[in-house]
Amino acid sequence: MASAIMNLLRLARAGIVLAQHGVRFVPPGMKVPLALTLAHAATWPVRMVAWPLRAGKPHDTRITSALASLGPSYIKLGQFLATRADLIGPELAGDLRHLQDRLPPFSMAEARLAVEEALGGRLDRHFAEFGPPVAAASIAQVHKAVVVENGERRRVAVKILRPGIEKRFKRDLDSYYFAARAIERFHAPSRRLRPMAVVDTLERTTQLEMDLRLEAAAISEMAENSGGDAEFRVPKVDWRRTARRVLTVEWIDGIPISDRVALESAGHDLGQLGQIVLRTFLRHAMRDGFFHADMHQGNLFVDERGHIVAVDFGIMGRLGLKERRFLAEILHGIITRDYKRAADVHFWAGYVPPHHPVAVFAQALRAIGEPIHGRTASEISMADLLGQLFAYTEVFDMRTRPELILLQKSMVIVEGVARGLDPNLNLWTAAEPVAKEWVDANYGVSGRLREAGEGAESLGKLLSDLPGLLEGAEQGVAAMAEMARTGVRLDADTVERIGTAEARHTRWGRAALWVGALSLLAIALALAGS
């Protein structure tokens, strides 16, 4: 009960901040149920009605300003929801894409203490020079430093977690889970969107971000995967100066990919760079099943050789073979206008329930794909295609796939970067070689031979495990027979304690959920009316 009350208070605070920033709690013309009005009155004290609204801000910045003022976890939540137009609507999702992950830096004294606690000993034992922060985000900030080894000076980037960030995120994630449970319980149509799974994915990504050893491992893995890619590289990790809360990597000297003037002055082909960004992302997603899930302009540089260098590997995405095949087939099917095959993949992957006709879903894909082929390169958008696919999810009872959430977000970001370099870049023409390469590799002779080898390996493992499986089955049958003969007994004291606990849980749980649902509905209405 205490936990439910704390979660309600945190959510109420979020609602108050939204109201302060001029976010409407009720869309124009919408009638408010009496129960919600009473809950609203109980939640917001009368004296708060007179609070000034920051309504002078542009419409699309009010919600982002509110979330930024709520702190790091709400910034991450907002960025995450920006990818879920199916959940919050295209207008709000568009507004949230303006949300910047920037916060004031914490002090040099705190940074020094964090390094010394993480690496042991005084800071000058590890770094010959240690400068002020050059970038500060919601989870960590970055310092430029110098190390000296064997008489050689090397410039490095040192990333440090914000003090107390783990505790802050855990507290707010508890509130998000409380909200998701209430939504799934009280709003049946939203269960298809799997709000609990959405929060699960957010929790996993933030947990990975808050262990910088895992980010170092991600850089190392991507370096191995992309070792043969001539136009892309990642910074080298300094493992001796890396720990859970501190990450040290090679300092990247390059031109920010957002600086078109500097890139042109250096003689780089912007159209070619746009193709490299797009194809690199798709190759990592489809070929490796491991991709940089935050490839925005601030995380990409161009070195003197014209290679793309990515930084900040805190958010990574993984796709299994099934999802990679789905992605390649969808791209290839729409590019080649083979809508039947693309529809078949949706059913094969389990994304569309089998009671829907394949031909009807292929017709829906045709409605999405055909207009693309009739438009100029500057008008073609992967983001638009994803939005249209979202629009069909409810019609065809498609459940949200958590493993594709980061992919969807990343495709939109990468498209924006590529468009920034070359507004006329034909995304589908650029993507076709990568999709075709994957399809040929997995459906050609080499792909069939690999699948045959994997099948033989699986069969061999099954045969080797068969004796143990049979033994376990035999023991299970014997146990079930014994239970059928003797029955299952609970003593009176156990039955009484279970009944008491269940009654208490049901009574308080139901009350907390109803109050929580009303408060959450108020916040949801605020978002919808922004």
515 pLDDT higher than 70: no
| pLDDT score of 523 | 46
The whole-number pLDDT of residue 27 equals 41
Q: Rounded CA gap, 391 and 68, in Å?
A: 29
- Bridge pairing between strands 246-250 and 255-256: unpaired
Residues constituting the chain: 530
**Residue type at 276 in one-letter notation:** I
Q: Give the pLDDT confidence score for residue 122 in this predicted structure.
A: 95
Cβ pair 232, 287 in contact under 8 A: no
Closest CA to 100 of 59, 141, 124, 72: 72
pLDDT > 70? residue 144 = yes
pLDDT in tens, 303-332: 989 999 999 998 888 888 877 877 777 777
Which residue would you say has higher pLDDT here, 249 or 319? 249
Q: Residue 117 — φ and ψ, nearest 5°?
A: -70, -35
Return the closest-CA partner of residue 20 out of 62, 78, 79: 62
Burial of residue 239 (CB within 10 Å: 0-12, 13-18, 19+) is middle
Neighbours of 145 (CB within 10 A): 21
Task: Report residue 408 CA to chain centroid gap.
Answer: 9
Partners of 452 in beta bridges: none
Average pLDDT over residues 326-350: 81
What is the predicted pLDDT for the residue at 353? 86
Listed residue (319, 434, 4, 368) closest to 181, CA to CA: 4
Work out the burial of residue 435: count CB atoms within 10 Å of its CB; fewer than 13 is exposed, 13-18 middle, 19 or more buried: buried
Query: What value does the mean pLDDT of the chain take?
Result: 75
- For 376-389, what is the mean pLDDT? 65
Instruction: Give me the percent of the chain exceeding a pLDDT of 90.
Output: 28
Residue 394 banded pLDDT, cuts 50, 70, 90: low
Comparing 23-37, 72-86, 272-286, 446-460, the range with the smallest average pLDDT is: 23-37
Residue 275 region, left (φ>0) first, then alpha (ψ -120 to 50), else beta?
Answer: alpha
- The yes-or-no verdict on residue 294 having pLDDT over 90 is no
pLDDT confidence of residue 191? 72
pLDDT in the model for residue 163: 93
Least confident interval from 44-58, 144-158, 505-519: 44-58
Task: Indicate if the pLDDT at residue 373 is higher than 50.
Answer: yes
**398-412 pLDDT tens trace:** 766 666 666 777 887
Q: Which of 205, 223, 215 is nearest to 245 (CA)?
A: 215
Answer yes or no: is pLDDT of 242 > 60: yes
Instruction: Kindly tell me if the per-residue pLDDT of 252 is higher than 70.
Output: yes
Band (pLDDT 50/70/90 cuts) for residue 107 is very high
For residue 267, pLDDT over 70 is answered with yes
User: Smallest Cα–Cα separation from 402: which of 194, 209, 192?
Assistant: 194
For range 344-362, the mean pLDDT? 86
5: tokens are 């009350």
Residue 497 reports pLDDT greater than 70: no
246 band by pLDDT with thresholds 50, 70 and 90: very high
Mean pLDDT of the 420-436 span: 81
- Would you list the DSSP string of 422-478? -TT--HHHHHHHHHHHHHHHHHSHHHHHHHHHHHHHHHHHHHHHHHHHHHHHHHHHH
**Residue range 255-270: average pLDDT?**
94
365 pLDDT higher than 70: yes
Residue 328 is predicted with a pLDDT of 75
d(CA 431, CA 166): 39
On the question of pLDDT at 265 being above 90, the answer is yes
pTM: 0.68
Task: Name the residue with higher pLDDT: 382 or 170.
Answer: 170
In this predicted structure, the answer to whether residue 201 has a pLDDT above a threshold of 70 is yes
CA distances to 93, 364, 512 from 388, in Å: 14, 10, 37
Please indicate whether residue 306 or residue 203 has the higher confidence score (pLDDT): 306
Position with higher pLDDT, 485 vs 413: 413
pLDDT given at position 518: 45
**What is the dihedral angle through the alpha carbons of 198, 200, 203, 204, rounded to the nearest 10 degrees?**
-110
Q: What is the mean pLDDT of residues 455-472?
A: 55
- Indicate which residues carry an active-site annotation: 294
For residue 162, pLDDT beyond 90? yes
| Residues near 65 by beta carbon (within 8 Å), at least 6 away in sequence | 21, 54, 57
**Higher pLDDT residue, 463 or 25?**
463
**More confident of the two residues 29 and 233:** 233
Amino acid letter, 10:
R
d(CA 383, CA 380): 9
Q: What is the pLDDT of residue 234?
A: 96
- d(CA 422, CA 469) in angstroms, rounded, equals 58
pLDDT band at 42 (very low <50, low <70, confident <90, very high): very low
Reply yes or no on whether the pLDDT at 116 is more than 60: yes
CA distance 334 to 502: 53
Q: For residue 346, what pLDDT is reported?
A: 81
Residue 517 has pLDDT above 60, yes or no: no
Handedness of CA 349, 351, 354, 359 (dihedral sign): negative
Ranked by mean pLDDT, the top range of 41-55, 79-93, 285-299 is: 285-299
Task: Quote the pLDDT of residue 268.
Answer: 95
201-210, 471-480, 504-513: segment of lowest average pLDDT: 504-513
356-374 average pLDDT score: 85
